[in-house]
A and B are shown apart, each in its own frame.
Chain A
Amino acid sequence: MNDSFLLDGEDIPFTPGQTVMQAATAAGKYIPHLCWHPDFAAHGSCKLCTVKIGGRFATACTVRASAGQEVENRTEELDAKRRTLLQLLFVEGNHFCPSCEKSGDCALQATAYEMGMLTPHFDHFYPDRPVDASHPDVLLEFNRCIMCELCVRASRDVDGKNVFALAGRGTKSHLIVNSESGQLADTDFAATDRAAEVCPVGVILKKRVGFAVPIGRRTYDLKPISAAGTEGEREDAADKTALREKEAG
């Protein structure tokens, strides 16, 4: 007999040890998230995946699935909280989507669409975070960092390089790289690193490939993140690469 729990009233099977997020994703269900990625250990920091289990809030990416759990996910209450979280992320950084190379491929933007976020709502913080263009192949646009630590995890756990880390505290939190100069060029970072492709927003950008796929034909232009971002995440990534290659000629 398979174990299962209820997600918004639907039966979701799981194998022991799986988190609610893992089980839901495997079942093709979308629980909004930004800092979670199937290939990396859960972080639990963005809080977009906050669900209600037995009336209590929990992050779907860190809580283990257990038989008979009743999980609320896409309720108006939770999506409203997610909208507020997204607004907080938008005003904390500087996100000018129309001029961002990641537009259409950006999980923050796509999740905001999915949640029906219409405006940033809060007064902008306008942080001052200078761009690092020192590396020959990659640009760092710190203004868009949402502190998800995916690049930190990818560089540490997959690339074995520890190029990235978060420094500072509170709203002074910011991404740093592993060099005394603070410049990416002075690290051993390479554009072929896994960390070069995990950023859900437009911070880590490869140079000279911008707009290879025109806006309007990008991942989340074609499908909303609820459809593109779950179990099809990697297949879509493959599609996208194929498309990009085709476009680039």
Chain B
Amino acid sequence: MATPELERILARHRRDPLQLLQILIEVQAREAWLAPATLSAIADALGVPRARVESTASFYSFLHTRPAGEFRILFSDNITDRMLGNQALMKSLCDKLWLEPGKVSEDGLVSVDTTSCTGMCDQGPAALANGRTITRLTPARIDEMAHLIRRRVPVGDWPPEWFHVDDNIRRRDVLLDHGLAPGNALAAALDRGPTGLLGEIERSGLRGRGGAGFGSDIKWRSCRDAWGDAHYVICNADEGEPGTFKDRVLLASHFDLVVDGMCIAGMAIGANKGFIYLRGEYRYLLDRLETRLAQRREQGLLGRNILGRGFSFDIEIHLGAGAYICGEESALIESLEGKPGKPRIRPPFPVTNGYRGQPSTVNNVETLALAALIAVHGGEWFRAIGTPASTGTKLLSVSGDVERPGIYEFPFGVTVAEVLEAAGARDTQAVTSAGAAGHCLAADEFDRRIAFEDVATGGSIMVFDHSRDMFEVARNFLHFFAHESCGFCTPCRVGTAVNARLMDKLAADRGSPYDLEEMARMHRLMQGASHCGLGNTATIALEDILAKFRPAFERRLHSPEYEPAFDLDAALTQARRMTGRDDAGAHLGDNREALAAERAHGQGNPASAEPASAKDLQP
């Protein structure tokens, strides 16, 4: 890299080590990858150990510490992308470019790989080309893409319609129909003052929309009461849960309401500074959002002395770089501070020890937008919507086997069946209630209600009709978690990998009931022993799918007994070749036949056929 260019980037970030991730993202945008010398130069300039820079650079999927190709194509690999045919498209692109997935072409031109859900499930199959989102891939688009890459046409010059992202709003309620002008809610909140506003939030019964449903008034009050040099508002726009894309639509089309919500939170907790942590997959929104923030500053709706009312609050947008775990609030804060996104020890919680160790509230995009509505209409108004324990409406991202995928705003308490009906689902076999990390419902549960007290959701509703293989759904989820585990704690780091391997073993028709018990055992370990929500929720859907759709697994069992993951006889192929033997004695008989024969003779003792490892103690 030309040193002046690096200098400019470093200067813009005040050579602040907390800006390390942002610096790495910008440097890579120019360099395509982060060379060892580049990492050293950055470490020197920031005055931090080089190992710390490498640690961050190597944690995030979208940062490359090895050459990654001039064109880097990543196919979104959520189950909904798979259902829409992403695998065939990826294979076709690889074939056309003479590539192996995950490897850079020999001339250094291009690499093709998969990435976790990009949040485009309503208009997939999707991909990222040098970080830019492409929707609705088709075989024709893949053909053309191969041509463009071979002719080295910069991604910026590719057909603009490829990058078009629709909102697909299908049902509006109080939030999506708010009709407020920018700053309206903020003015209303300033009229109420911090105490008045917190009272309304409490009366509203607002619970966080990021998944856990924590009472927003409690969070804000404890943050306000926490002593610190500064307080911070953090908007969690990481939206990494497979199948969720509601925050994307709020940011794209209701950004002013979200910003009003952040300012309001700032007023409530006594903060002057806010951050939006925007997932790397939504990079395409960044310039638009920055522009809008600048306009608001000019309009007196952000920055110093907002609306001339003596309240100052400003917002900085930080980009993520491909790590689902950064949605977890303490990991998000680590990432904001330029570090790998690994969850912190809690307590202390962010409300007392957050960004820079100062009191911080982390809220979901939708929560902040709703807080803005409450500032205008009051808590009673909000509480009249939804159910007593789950007030207000919920944005649902609906995708999969439905006629009309997109965003549906429903009051809490709506049944799953009503959502399916609205979206045009037919012959539905199963529904995820909270993406890969939540429960999976079978048809006899569709009369259940979406609400914290029944079917809790962050908003990811993926629908599977009877043509779908639920085993493949579970397998996709387990690979997702194995890929996204931050690696900090043993049960999740290794447990997710063991699960993914077991599913591949089953998929290769080498599984046994024993392997299913292994996964159940992993579930028991990971739930409770894991450090954060990722490991604690990673096997919930698996557990449900195993229990409710067991035939999908049983179909794949090769034998009723233990099976090794590898084919013993095939493993001897090379030895046979080397020794020039191919007689019967050089082959291992088919395990299954041998077992069947033994059993037929009534002398089968399955335990003795098991290798030692299968006899180990079971928790």
- CB-based contact B486/A169 at 8 Å: yes
Residue in contact with B345 in the complex, picked from A62, A85, A164, CB distance below 8 Å = A62
- CB-based contact B52/A165 at 8 Å: yes
- CB-based contact A147/B487 at 8 Å: yes
Interface residues of B in 301-340 (CB under 8 A from A): 323, 340
Q: What is the bound-complex CA distance between A7 and B538, given in angstroms? A: 31
Interface residues of A in 64-87 (CB under 8 A from B): 77, 80-81, 83-85, 87
Q: How far is the CB of B155 from chain A (nearest CB, A)?
A: 26
- CB-based contact A50/B484 at 8 Å: no
Q: Check: A42 CB closer than 8 A to any chain B CB.
A: yes
**A170-B484 contact, Cβ under 8 Å, with A81-B529, A119-B613, A122-B498:** yes
Q: How far is the CB of B495 from chain A (nearest CB, A)?
A: 6
- CB-based contact A121/B50 at 8 Å: no
Q: Check: B493 CB closer than 8 A to any chain A CB.
A: yes
Interface 9-residue window, one of A24-32, A173-181, A231-239:
A173-181
Chain A interface residue count: which class?
A: 35 or more
B487's nearest neighbour on chain A, judged by CB, is: A173
- CB-based contact B497/A170 at 8 Å: yes
Q: What is the bound-complex CA distance between A56 and B527, given in angstroms? A: 11
- CB-based contact A170/B487 at 8 Å: yes
Interface residues of chain B: helix, strand, loop or mixed (majority): helix
- CB-based contact B619/A80 at 8 Å: yes
For B36, B40, B483, B498, which residue has the most chain A Cβ atoms within 10 angstroms? B498
- CB-based contact A89/B490 at 8 Å: yes
Q: What is the bound-complex CA distance between A169 and B340, given in angstroms? A: 9
Q: Check: B616 CB closer than 8 A to any chain A CB.
A: yes
Residue in contact with A180 in the complex, picked from B40, B483, B564, B617, CB distance below 8 Å = B40
Residue in contact with B51 in the complex, picked from A116, A168, A178, CB distance below 8 Å = A178
- CB-based contact A46/B51 at 8 Å: no
Binding site for A on B (CB under 8 A): 36-37, 39-40, 49-52, 54-55, 58-61, 323, 340, 345, 482-491, 493-498, 501, 518, 521, 524-525, 528-531, 564-565, 612-613, 616-619
- CB-based contact B51/A45 at 8 Å: no
**A165-B494 contact, Cβ under 8 Å, with A57-B529, A81-B525, A121-B616:** no
Residue in contact with A116 in the complex, picked from B487, B564, B617, CB distance below 8 Å = B617
Q: Which residues of chain B have C-beta atoms less than 8 A from A48's C-beta?
A: 490
B41's nearest neighbour on chain A, judged by CB, is: A180
Binding site for B on A (CB under 8 A): 42, 44-48, 50, 56-57, 62, 77, 80-81, 83-85, 87-89, 91-92, 116, 118-123, 125, 146-147, 162-173, 176-180
Q: How far is the CB of B474 from chain A (nearest CB, A)?
A: 19
Q: How far is the CB of A4 from chain B (nearest CB, A)?
A: 22
Q: What is the bound-complex CA distance between A186 and B486, given in angstroms? A: 28
- CB-based contact B489/A77 at 8 Å: no
**A180-B345 contact, Cβ under 8 Å, with A80-B619, A122-B498, A162-B49:** no
Q: Which residues of chain B have C-beta atoms less than 8 A from A165's C-beta?
A: 49, 51-52, 54-55
Q: How far is the CB of A184 from chain B (nearest CB, A)?
A: 12
A41's nearest neighbour on chain B, judged by CB, is: B345
- CB-based contact A88/B617 at 8 Å: no
Residue in contact with B490 in the complex, picked from A46, A83, A123, CB distance below 8 Å = A46
Q: Which residues of chain B have C-beta atoms less than 8 A from A56's C-beta?
A: 528
Q: How far is the CB of B588 from chain A (nearest CB, A)?
A: 18
For A57, A162, A166, which residue has the most chain B Cβ atoms within 10 angstroms? A166
Q: Which residues of chain A have C-beta atoms less than 8 A from B345's C-beta?
A: 42, 44, 62
**A88-B51 contact, Cβ under 8 Å, with A57-B529, A170-B483:** no
**A84-B619 contact, Cβ under 8 Å, with A92-B494, A123-B501:** yes
- CB-based contact A47/B51 at 8 Å: no
Q: What is the bound-complex CA distance between A162 and B497, given in angstroms? A: 30
- CB-based contact B494/A171 at 8 Å: yes
With A92-B493, A147-B488 already in contact, 5 other A-B pairs whose C-beta atoms are closer than 8 Å: A57-B528, A85-B490, A118-B617, A169-B323, A176-B54
Q: What is the bound-complex CA distance between A179 and B497, given in angstroms? A: 30
A162's nearest neighbour on chain B, judged by CB, is: B49
- CB-based contact A167/B59 at 8 Å: yes
**A171-B489 contact, Cβ under 8 Å, with A123-B501, A165-B52, A180-B50:** no
